[in-house]
Every structure is written in C-alpha cells, then in structure tokens.
Amino acid sequence: MKAPVKASDLRHRVTIESAARTGDGAGGATLAWQAVAEVWAAIWSRDVTEAFTLDRIAGKATHDVWIRYRADVTPDMRIRFGSRVFDILGAIDVEDRGHWLKCPVEERDL
C-alpha cells in the first residue's frame, strides 16, 4: 500500500514541543514549552465543528499532520506552525514501517 503523503507534500516547517514543569518554590509548578525538533510537515485539514459553550460559540478545527517517522513524538506534545498551535492527539506509525508518522491534532485557540 502506498502512503497518501509524498516528500513533496512536506512544505510546512513546524516545531515539535514538549512540556516542561518547573517548581515555583511555593509548592506549585509552572509549565513551559521547549522545542524538541524542527521538521518538515504536511498539514491537512480534517474537520471543523462549532459548539455553544460558556455563553459563546466555540469552534474546533482538527487536522492531520504528517512528518517523517520519529519514535519520540507522543500525545503529550504539541506542534507549533508560526503562531498556530496544535495539540497532538495521537502518533501513528503508518503501516508500522517506520517511514511516516501521522499525528491527528486539534488546533488550539490562543
């Protein structure tokens, strides 16, 4: 089976980020995001939904982000593309061959 992504589709330079918690000295912690890697990616829109939440309409956009396979990408990470931030919902080794990684993501409102 041929993967639905080609190397020429990887036209977006994205940063994979991991959360780092540091103590604040008062028993709490602060969250900071640190760059893990910069990679080329294909970003394809998947779905957009709207819901009425907390007296306002909130939209949610989901995408598939394809990158060359990396074993260190996990759902507790995120992907940054310019000012856009995507929470990683999963990391799928397409066809279990170690060639492509498909990450279903949800775009975060900032």
Structural domain boundaries, residue 86: 8-108
Lowest mean pLDDT among 22-26, 61-65, 86-90: 22-26
CB neighbours of residue 86 within 10 Å: 23
Q: For the chain, what percent of residues have pLDDT higher than 70?
A: 87
**The domain that contains 30 carries what CATH number?**
2.40.10.270
In this predicted structure, the answer to whether residue 1 has a pLDDT above a threshold of 80 is no
13-35: per-residue pLDDT in tens?
999 999 998 877 788 888 899 99
Do the domain assignments include residue 3? no
Q: Which residues touch 27 (CB under 8 Å, ≥6 apart)?
A: none
**How many domains, in total, are found in the chain?**
1
Q: Helix, strand, coil: what percent of the chain each, to 5?
A: 5, 65, 30
Closest C-alpha to 16, from 69, 59, 60, 61: 69
The model carries a pTM of 0.82
In this predicted structure, the answer to whether residue 80 has a pLDDT above a threshold of 80 is yes
pLDDT band at 110 (very low <50, low <70, confident <90, very high): low
Do the domain assignments include residue 71? yes
